[in-house]
Amino acid sequence: MRVTTDLWVSALLRRVFSAGGFAAVAKRGATEAGAVFVLARGRLGEMALFGPAPQTSYDSARPDDRFFTRLGEGGDAAIFDARLEREKKFDPDIWVVEVEAGAIPVEELISVKSP
């Protein structure tokens, strides 16, 4: 049985806060199985967007894990906003979580796979 998206996002928020960072749900999607996008913001204005990894990235030994891939990085918020708007049009049940991770890199808070 897979953990619901609502519970997984709540656990992510707790991990971020316990690491001294800040996180907020910018868009709440489907409670049971909405796709999660993580917008990581650095303290110096840098940003990175992470989205669900392709199905080929999943490990049959760990079928319940959520994996992410880096979709882009930079400092232009408009590019990320446009990408997220396209994703919302494709799937209105997505979650968007904004994270300022603090001392711990985002890659240690979520499982990131290379494309």
Best CA proximity match to 50, nearest among 32, 35, 71: 71
List the alpha helices (DSSP H) in the chain: 5-18, 77-90, 106-109
Give tens-digit pLDDT for 17-71: 988 899 999 999 888 878 899 999 888 778 999 998 876 555 555 545 778 889 8
Do you know the residue count of the chain? Answer: 115
Q: Specify which residues 22 forms β-bridges with.
A: 100
pLDDT recorded at residue 97:
94
Report the alpha-carbon angle 17-115-91, nearest 5: 70
